[in-house]
Structure 1
Amino acid sequence: MLSRESSATLMNAVTAFIYREARLQDEHQYEDWEKLWTEDGVYWVPANGVDIDPEKEMSIIYDNRSRIALRVRQLMTGKHFTQTPQSRLRRLVSNIELMDEQATGDIAVASNSLIFESSLRDDTLWAARNEYRLRYVDGELRMVYKKVMLVNSDKALFTLSFLV
């Protein structure tokens, strides 16, 4: 169990990490965003609800680490026509909570986010609950797991062609 001081220090580090990740996504700094992942990272955006089995049911995104790298390379080509020109993005992050520290040393965290996307198509709001597992690697926090549970994942969605 963490002391109050170490818990506050961890909360500050986790909050700074999540804010940095949001800024990198908003600014389309894909290579720097990719560096936030561990080698065993999993990035998941479920479809049709939050409690599905991604191995058996459709997901919007269900990427292992190599697929995350491929997604970033595709975004870097400039050939994502739904992102020509790139969407202007700003996200608000709130309700950051330390859930627990697991036996593996991973840190379970949750937060809410509201993403404003302005594109040629329209202005769109994306609301989500995010679950993370973070791990210290060489003294720096890294993402082992990120699950983005879009509020409206059970409806037809616009093309999601940026990082959530």
Structure 2
Amino acid sequence: MLFDIDFDVSVDTLRSTALAKEDREAIKQFLYFEARLLDEKRWQEWLNLWTEDGMYWVPQSFAQTSPYDHISLFWENAMLRELRIKRLENARNWSQQPPTQSSRLLGNITIEGEDQRGYIVARATFQCVESRAGTQRLLAGSYIYKLLRVDEGWKLYMKQVNLINREDVHSNLEIHI
């Protein structure tokens, strides 16, 4: 999947979608819940929010439209998301002694439409404050989600994190943003 150049990250050509008010509210609640799971370090529950072939992407450049033609800060499939979490939970992980604490704030959630494969595309703005070893860091930007409707609600097919300072030099980005 990492080298599968058929994974469509584009959100340029969307069809309008007539989601019921209840569906729009369910999507918002799903996105708030996803943020809370990350803040509460409920890693396994967070992993369960993803489709098997879902991708987590943090572009490194403002001009980047694809993870295939430019290095990314993150381009993670299920295996790499699980590996990051195992590393976070490992008692010998020096970069998490003490563990990073985080608090996310989501806003401006909009439903943009439906992509060519039928995924619902939503956007949100965010601020994430990380605290570790007496130092705080503010990360901010926007999210683009591709969501799959399932019987029990929604699943993440893609989460793109667009940091407002993505071209800066970053210290460790240990936790999922």
TM-score normalised per structure 1: 0.90
Deviation of the 1:103 alpha carbon = 4.5
Deviation of the 1:122 alpha carbon = 1.4
Deviation of the 1:86 alpha carbon = 1.2
- Larger proportion of helix: 1
Q: For 1:59-138, what aligned pairs fall within 5 Å after superposition?
A: 59-120=72-133, 122-138=135-151
2:67 counterpart (54, 66, 73):
54
1:14 counterpart (10, 19, 27):
27
- Counterpart of 2:18, as a letter, is L
TM-score normalised per structure 2: 0.84
User: What RMSD, in angstroms, separates the aligned Cα atoms of the two structures?
Assistant: 1.6
After superposition, the C-alpha distances for 1:66-89 in whole angstroms (9 at most, x for unaligned) are 222222222222333222111121
* Paired-residue identity, %: 30
Whether the aligned pair in 2 keeps the contact of 1:133 and 1:146 (CA below 8 Å) is yes
Tell me the distance in 2 between the aligned counterparts of 1:24 and 1:128: 19
In structure 2, do the counterparts of structure 1 residues 97 and 50 end up closer, same or farther at CA, with 3 Å as the change threshold? farther
Aligned residues, how many?
Answer: 161
Deviation of the 1:121 alpha carbon = 5.6
Tell me the distance in 2 between the aligned counterparts of 1:46 and 1:114: 17
In structure 2, do the counterparts of structure 1 residues 140 and 82 end up closer, same or farther at CA, with 3 Å as the change threshold? same
Whether the aligned pair in 2 keeps the contact of 1:34 and 1:72 (CA below 8 Å) is no
Q: Provide the residue aligned with 1:2 in structure 2.
A: 18
Q: Which runs of 5+ in 2 are unaligned?
A: 1-16
In structure 2, do the counterparts of structure 1 residues 58 and 103 end up closer, same or farther at CA, with 3 Å as the change threshold? closer
After superposition, the C-alpha distances for 1:2-60 in whole angstroms (9 at most, x for unaligned) are 26xx1x11211111011001101111111111000001100001113252431232111
After superposition, the C-alpha distances for 1:100-134 in whole angstroms (9 at most, x for unaligned) are 02343311000000001111161110001100001
In structure 2, do the counterparts of structure 1 residues 78 and 46 end up closer, same or farther at CA, with 3 Å as the change threshold? farther
Does residue 23 (structure 1) correspond to residue 36 (structure 2)? The answer is yes
Whether the aligned pair in 2 keeps the contact of 1:48 and 1:155 (CA below 8 Å) is no
Q: For 1:143-162, what aligned pairs fall within 5 Å after superposition?
A: 143-162=156-175
Tell me the distance in 2 between the aligned counterparts of 1:77 and 1:145: 26
